[in-house]
């Protein structure tokens, strides 16, 4: 196994590295669209795709910090192009940016017509994960270093998404105070 100084902790104690390349978190998943995967419009069911997105994003998050992670939020899932039964769907995920214990994961969904070879970006998503250590406490995560143009663009624009995420979370907490936990049949 290849190791370089980028991955060594200062003490060599097995603690998480201080820095990792974005490429070290990159994951791919490809699936065929089966008849049981489609909705009444004969396109891939959105809930199925969202399950794929959360799954692959969690793997990218874990590859960054090598501890347990939890989904803190699904910030957005934008469905851009329908995925048909004659298509395959490929998801690519990677960590774009990190805070102290949180990380933003980007997921790109590519649909490919298996007969023509035509490809389109079918969806994009941003999710936030938090690293959890022993005692279910948040732990510090490595920072990420972007290398490609795509990685750099996502990394540079991440702080504004993080600010919007914080604001939306506060608004959600305030809104939750107005909601009832009573069931209608009680």
pLDDT digit string, tens, across residues 117-155:
999 999 999 999 999 988 889 999 999 999 999 999 999
pLDDT at 76 (0 to 100): 85
pLDDT at 28 (0 to 100): 98
Spell out where 114-164 has E strands.
119-132, 143-145
Q: What is the DSSP string of 43-69?
A: SB-HHHHHHHHHHHHHHHHHHHHSSEE
The region of weakest confidence among 12-26, 142-156, 165-179 is 12-26
Tell me 183's DSSP state: -
pLDDT digit string, tens, across residues 55-65:
999 999 999 99
Distance between CA atoms of residues 15 and 9, nearest Å: 6
Which is more confident, 121 or 6? 121
Q: Which residues contact 179 (CB under 8 A, 6 or more apart)?
A: none
Q: What is the pTM of this model?
A: 0.84
The answer on pLDDT for 12 being more than 50 is: no
With beta carbons less than 8 A apart as the criterion, state whether 90 and 114 touch: no
pLDDT at 17 (0 to 100): 56
Q: Which residues contact 73 (CB under 8 A, 6 or more apart)?
A: 127, 128, 165, 169
Distance between CA atoms of residues 150 and 94, nearest Å: 11
């Amino acid at each position: 196994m290849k190791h370089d100084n980028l991955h060594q902790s200062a003490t060599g104690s097995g603690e998480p590295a201080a820095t990792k390349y974005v490429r070290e978190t990159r994951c791919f998943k490809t699936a065929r669209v089966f008849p049981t995967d489609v909705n009444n419009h004969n396109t891939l069911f959105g809930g199925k795709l969202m399950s794929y997105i959360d799954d692959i994003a969690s793997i990218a998050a874990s590859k960054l910090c090598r501890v347990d992670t939890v989904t803190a939020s699904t910030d957005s899932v934008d469905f851009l192009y329908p995925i048909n039964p004659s298509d395959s769907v490929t998801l690519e995920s990677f960590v774009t940016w990190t805070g102290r214990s949180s990380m933003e994961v980007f997921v790109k969904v590519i649909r490919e017509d298996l007969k023509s070879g035509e490809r389109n970006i079918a969806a994009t998503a941003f999710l936030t994960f938090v690293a959890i250590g022993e005692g279910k406490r948040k732990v510090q995560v490595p920072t990420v270093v972007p290398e490609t143009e795509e990685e750099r663009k996502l990394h540079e624009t991440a702080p504004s998404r993080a600010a919007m995420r914080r604001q939306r979370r506060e608004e959600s907490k305030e809104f939750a105070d107005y909601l009832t936990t009573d069931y209608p049949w009680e």
